[in-house]
Amino acid sequence: MNNLLIEWLGDRVKILDQTRLPQEEAYLELTGYQAIASAITEMRIRGAPAIGILGAYGIALGALKIEAESRDEFLARLREINHTLASTRPTARNLFRAIDRMQRVAEAGRNIEQIKESLINQAIKIHGEEAEATRKLSQFGAELIEDGFTILTHCNTGALATAGYGTALGVIKQAKEQGKNIKVLATETRPLLQGARLTTWELKKTDIPFTLITDSMAGYFMSRGEVDCIIVGADRIAANGDTANKIGTYSLAVLAMENGIPFYIAAPTTTVDLSLASGNEIPIEQRNPEEVTNIQGLSITPEGTQAANPAFDVTPHHYITAIITERGIIKEPYIERLKGIC
């Protein structure tokens, strides 16, 4: 499934539409960068690494279709494409890192044809590197999982979120592959139910036993001693280790500390943003309140109900036991150790 989640087809990109899961495995073929930008905004592809990969293919596809008289005109049009893709989802660092990389490659190119070719190659490279990073970080992270552990995870952080092996879910899958007898508690992840719809869909394809819980049940299971560790992914990690991840992560981290449970972040270094001193500077995406007042298209509130919908929250670094990356596992002081590996 990994390669099929996002597939470059030469003049279009094929994606598995995650909004239709788990009911349907429906694929879309996107033929222009605007369609790719919409697919990211609408969360047909979501998860920080996967957004970065699709963004890079979006630039390659957009570039391929530019008809320009000069290199300068081409680069100006490319900047517009980059701007459109950068305006889709603000929090995941991987998207902006991919856009910067693609822009640098374009500026280094000699002529239009050569730039187009190097942008395609660069997008394929970004895809390969992101996938490989999740494979490696999963191997490091699996060392933290002991036989018999019950692991609580939030949102979806597997192949669907990474177009690779997975971050938090990758660690869990790797621990199972090492023969450890483990169980998973997966939170449903309101409002868009990435846990209920996507993590369960991925876990069903493995032989890892799992139980779905609502987000508000997490404290109950922690207080009863039924959680051995928590592993989640990240959308952006500031220089001091403060981490933005799916809304609800902060509450889990505070509850974990209260109950003496290790709380791990698993993320490739492409998610780290050393330009931001702390989590206060991380832009938090505010999504349409209808995602809260409706569940899968069905209204659950009286008409006119006001709702808030921040898509992410920030967990201060002192709640984080360790950050698992493809370059190793790091602990406090994050400010020095992140600088050392990024």
The 3-state DSSP class for residue 319 equals helix
Show the site string, 81-120: x = touches ligand MRU by CB under 6 A, - = not: -----------x----------------------------
Q: Which of 311, 320, 323, 338 binds ligand MRU (CB under 6 A)?
A: 311
Q: Which of 157, 187, 240, 321 binds ligand MRU (CB under 6 A)?
A: 157
In degrees and rounded to multiples of 5, residue 26 shows phi and psi of -105, 135
Show the site string, 169-188: x = touches ligand MRU by CB under 6 A, - = not: --------------------
β-bridge pairing 322-325 and 263-266: parallel
Cα–Cα dist 165/95, whole Å: 18
243 binds ligand MRU (CB under 6 A): no
Q: How far is the CB of 11 from ligand MRU (least distance, A)?
A: 27
Q: Which of 202, 215, 235, 313 binds ligand MRU (CB under 6 A)?
A: 235
Q: Nearest residue by C-beta to ligand MRU?
A: 233
Q: Edge to edge, what strands does the sheet with 328-330 contain?
A: 210-213, 183-187, 150-153, 229-232, 263-266, 322-325, 328-330
The 3-state DSSP class for residue 264 equals strand
β-bridge pairing 322-325 and 183-187: unpaired
245 binds ligand MRU (CB under 6 A): yes
- Tell me, yes or no, if 235 is annotated catalytic: yes
163 binds ligand MRU (CB under 6 A): no
Q: Which of 15, 39, 46, 326 binds ligand MRU (CB under 6 A)?
A: 46
Contact assessment for residue 35 and residue 14, using Cβ atoms and an 8 Å cutoff: no
If the CB atoms of residues 291 and 332 are measured against ligand MRU, the closer one turns out to be: 291
If the CB atoms of residues 118 and 315 are measured against ligand MRU, the closer one turns out to be: 315
In degrees and rounded to multiples of 5, residue 286 shows phi and psi of -105, 120
Contact assessment for residue 191 and residue 292, using Cβ atoms and an 8 Å cutoff: yes
Give the chain's radius of gyration (CA, Å): 20
Q: Which of these ranges, 53-61, 115-123, 156-164, 202-210, lies near ligand MRU under the rule CB under 6 A?
A: 156-164
Structural tokens at position 46: 């979501």
The count of other CB atoms within 10 Å of the CB of residue 24 is 9
Q: How far is the CB of 335 from ligand MRU (least distance, A)?
A: 22
Q: Which of these ranges, 23-31, 231-239, 276-284, 294-302, lies near ligand MRU under the rule CB under 6 A?
A: 231-239
Long-range contact set of residues 72-78: C-beta below 8 Å, sequence gap at least 24: 74/112, 74/115, 75/106, 75/107, 78/103, 78/106
Measured between alpha carbons, how far is residue 32 from residues 11, 36, 72, 92 in Å?
Answer: 9, 7, 21, 22
Q: Which of 97, 173, 190, 246 binds ligand MRU (CB under 6 A)?
A: 246
Cα–Cα dist 54/57, whole Å: 5
Residues 265-294 that bind ligand MRU (CB under 6 A): none
Q: Which of 16, 229, 230, 234 binds ligand MRU (CB under 6 A)?
A: 234
Q: Which of 100, 215, 228, 235 is catalytic?
A: 235
Summarize as ranges the residues that interact with ligand MRU (CB under 6 A).
Answer: 46-49, 92, 155, 157, 161-162, 167, 194, 232-235, 245-246, 311
Q: Which residues are catalytic?
A: 235
